Structure 1
């Protein structure tokens, strides 16, 4: 688990500052966490989501600073915790469903299915954002536009993450730092939508 991980264009050797842009761009998550916390007021949902975004900031920062296998697991794990919690919050917040606890296992099953079919760990999140937007549009809830925008931003973000290793010869710093910047926006948008008046 302490093996060195060289998975991005920007990193060319071990070292704490081997990925300066990838490390510093994690501040987008910290900014999102602070904004969501301030927006939350007395909302427990808002504070929970702000805390989880803060966890993503810490885990991703540690990974891009240390570049070890265990830190990579922590990074992916923090993101997975956020999306699983959100999958449970969505039916509860927008529909008042008492069976909200069915959301996380359903989303986890979707994630495993898309990962095994070659779609990677994050395709399920894109599908989820599209589904949330469609469901809310059908319900005539104006929040659907927020999820539509978040989905479009995440689609771009996921594309840039995927392209990182392919553009090393042309863009030595890669594109992974843009994944962080754009995802900070995505996390803010979906969290803001969940803090209902």
Structure 2
């Protein structure tokens, strides 16, 4: 678990400052966490989302600083934690309070299927944004646009993440830092939908 991970254009050697752009761009998650916390007021769900976004900031920052396998697992785990909690809460609020818990295993199953089919670990999140947009659009809830815009931003973000290793010869810094910046926007866009003071 302490093995060195060199998975990005920007990193060319071990060391805490081997990925300056990838490390600093994680501040987008911190900004998103602060903004969501302020939107939440006293709403517990909003504060939970803000805390989970803050955890993504910490885990991703540590990973891009130390570049080890255990940090990579922590990074992915923090992202997964936010997604699973969000899926369950959204399903309970907008679909079924009784069966909302099923959203977590359903999402995990979708992730496994898309990964096996070659779509990677994050295609399921893009599909989820489309599903959430469709659910709210069907209910004629104008907040479906949050997910439509977030889905478009995430599609671009995912494309840039995928391109990172392919553009090293042309863009030495790579494109992974843009994945962080755009995902901070995505997390901010989807959070107000579950914050009660923003829903009334």
TM-score by length of 2: 0.96
Does residue 88 of structure 2 align to residue 102 of structure 1? no
- Aligned pairs, number: 197
Counterparts of 1:1-197 in structure 2, within 5 Å, are 1-95=1-95, 97-195=97-195, 196-197=199-200
Query: How many angstroms apart in 1 are the aligned matches of 2:150 and 2:144?
Result: 10
Query: How many angstroms apart in 2 are the aligned matches of 1:96 and 1:125?
Result: 20
Query: How many angstroms apart in 2 are the aligned matches of 1:166 and 1:33?
Result: 31
Name the SS for the 1:169 alignment partner.
coil
Query: How many angstroms apart in 2 are the aligned matches of 1:92 and 1:111?
Result: 20
Moved more, 95-104 or 109-118: 95-104
Query: How many angstroms apart in 2 are the aligned matches of 1:144 and 1:85?
Result: 19
Structure 1 unaligned regions, length at least 5: none
Instruction: Report the alpha carbon displacement of residue 100 of structure 1 after superposing the two structures with TM.
Output: 1.1
Q: Deviations over 1:108-134 (max 9, x none)?
A: 110111111111110000000011111
Query: How many angstroms apart in 2 are the aligned matches of 1:193 and 1:28?
Result: 20
Query: How many angstroms apart in 2 are the aligned matches of 1:192 and 1:25?
Result: 23
Query: How many angstroms apart in 1 are the aligned matches of 2:20 and 2:34?
Result: 22
Q: Deviations over 1:25-78 (max 9, x none)?
A: 000000000000010011111000000000000000000000000000000010
TM-score by length of 1: 0.98
